[in-house]
Amino acid sequence: MKLIAGLGNPGPKYLSTRHNVGFDVLDRVARRYGDGSPARSKFHAVIVDVVINGQKVLLVKPTTFMNRSGVSLSEAANFYKLNIEEDILILVDDVALPCGAIRVRPSGSAGGHNGLSDIEERLGSNQYTRLRIGIDEPGQIPQKDYVLGRFREDQREQLEPALEEAVAAVTCWVSNGTTETMNRFNRKATA
């Protein structure tokens, strides 16, 4: 089994915010590969079982706030005895990438992202794959306000194709692993 987690904050207040772009990608994956079965609550998350190219995949949307994202991930990983390096993919926003860019990495630092920091602490490792979705740098806006804000119209236009590309990258990762996904999807963003 593979586990794919989208990061974000729960509740209607945070719908469509920059910090919830991981949720947005996960929702698209669920719509594309789900069989219509209802989501259920487990592991401090909303979870859905899907099959992607013959592979069982557990989609996890934590119901904790971003800075406690590791709670659900560690519970699910321990329950299913998953290999952190091979079986887990995290979908996450990234202010260091231009809006509309995606990057896949097999490991790395949390880079100041509170959700990734909590996951790293609770899993005891940073050796899990992450698919980062660019949301632009905040500029003069305080970062907390920026990530909790909604996309501008010009950003939304750039983001839409990136969300679909992220779903394709998720599909590739499930079938072909991290290296192949990096080779296919890590391209320079065009201005």
**Which active-site residues does the annotation give?**
19
Reference 104, options 94, 118, 112; nearest CA is 94
Enumerate residues 6+ apart whose C-beta is below 8 A from 140: none
Amino acid at 124: G
- In the block, which residue shows the tokens 């089994």? 1
Residue-level length of the chain? 191
Nearest of 142, 143, 136 to residue 113 by alpha carbon: 143
* Joined tokens for residue 10: 């729960």
Residue keyed to tokens 């394709």: 168
Instruction: With beta carbons less than 8 A apart as the criterion, state whether 164 and 73 touch.
Output: no
